[in-house]
Structure formats: structure tokens, C-alpha cells
């Protein structure tokens, strides 16, 4: 099974490294939790509103959020 490449804000994910799909800001998540919005959301346009998975497993295929 393939994993998703991007995870929308609010998705439940595993620990790992992520990068904003819109502005490139890096984010490390050490525990399983919902992904926050990018801290740059209010300062720069964000059309994808998602995080690119850089390491670890990322988002589960069964997550209700779209790819």
C-alpha cells in the first residue's frame, strides 16, 4: 500500500518531519497528533493547506481526509 504524499491540516499522523506544501516551513512532530495549520498561514497565501511528508509514515490511508 502506498502512503499519501501530503496531509491536510487537522490530519492524524505519526511522528516525523513535515514541510508546508505552500511555503516550505519545516515542522517536526514527535507524537501522534493532529497536524496544526502552518504558522505562516496568516502572513502568506496558502492554497494547498497541507503538509508534505518528509520522513516516517505520515498519514494513514484510512484517514477520512482526502489525499
pLDDT in tens, the chain (67 residues): 345 688 899 988 888 899 999 999 999 987 767 899 999 999 999 999 999 999 865 555 555 554 4
Q: How far apart are CA 13 and CA 25, in angstroms?
A: 17
pTM of structure = 0.74
CB-based contacts of 12, cutoff 8 Å, min separation 6: 32, 33, 34, 59, 60, 63
Q: Is the dihedral of CA 49, 20, 63, 29 positive or negative?
A: negative
Q: How far apart are CA 64 and CA 8, in angstroms?
A: 11
Amino acid at each position: 500500500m502506498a502512503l499519501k504524499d501530503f496531509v491536510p491540516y487537522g490530519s492524524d499522523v505519526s511522528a516525523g518531519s513535515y514541510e508546508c506544501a505552500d511555503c516550505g516551513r519545516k515542522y517536526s512532530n514527535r507524537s501522534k497528533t493532529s497536524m496544526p495549520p502552518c504558522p505562516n498561514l496568516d502572513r502568506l497565501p496558502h492554497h494547498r493547506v497541507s503538509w508534505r511528508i518528509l520522513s516516517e509514515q505520515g498519514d494513514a490511508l484510512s484517514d477520512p481526509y482526502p489525499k
